[in-house]
Structure 1
Amino acid sequence: MVDRILEFRGINLDHLGMYFEELGGRLVTDSFPFVYEAGGWRAEIISEDELAFTKTFIVNAVHIRFAAETMGELEQLIKNYRYKTTRVGG
């Protein structure tokens, strides 16, 4: 398997897990690391931290390990996941 760790900021931890379920994953643990598995891929929500840019501007930072059988499958998984986590300002 090939894997990659990415960081996502400012997105609720529950939503990050829900996106894996929407992609066909099944939650197999109930504490850190939260592991989601599906045919050909696996994802682990490794940790959640808080980043303080100022005294009042604090966001979460979540580290996720993506793993798949091939590099092509890994890239497709990350692409699909990034689509779900895209936020458009306005």
Structure 2
Amino acid sequence: MPEQELEFRGINRKHLGMYFEELGGKQMTGEFPYVYQSNDWVGEIVREEELLITSTFKVNCVHIRFQASEDKTLKELIKNYRVKTTRIGG
């Protein structure tokens, strides 16, 4: 099963889980690793940590593992997930 792990910064962990649900996944666990599953893929919120940028500026850092039945499905899942996590500055 192909897989890839990515890191997302500055996005609430609950929102990251909600994005899996919006893409058709069902939450399977209620603690780390949070697992979301569909027929063709599995998404796991593996861990969350705080990253210290400066002595006063901290940002959350969430590690997510994507797994799919085939490479094409994995690429499509990651592409769609990245659309949901895109933040446009103003």
TM-score category (smaller protein): over 0.9
Q: Confirm whether residue 80 of structure 1 aligns to residue 84 of structure 2.
A: no
Distance 1:52 1:89 in 2: 22
Structure 1 length normalisation: TM-score?
0.98
Deviations 1:6-42 (A, max 9, x none): 0000000000000000001000001000000001000
Distance 1:86 1:39 in 2: 25
How much has 1:60 moved relative to structure 2? 0.5
Q: Confirm whether residue 34 of structure 1 aligns to residue 34 of structure 2.
A: yes
Q: List alignment gaps of at least 5 residues for structure 2.
A: none
- Equivalent pairs counted in the alignment come to 90
Listed as ranges, the matches of 1:9-88 within 5 Å are 9-88=9-88
How much has 1:57 moved relative to structure 2? 1.1
- 2:89 aligns with 89
| RMSD after superposition | 0.5
Structure 2 length normalisation: TM-score?
0.98
Deviations 1:30-57 (A, max 9, x none): 1000000001000110000100111221
Identity of aligned residues (%): 60
User: What amino acid does structure 1 have at the position aligned with 2:45?
Assistant: I
Q: List alignment gaps of at least 5 residues for structure 1.
A: none
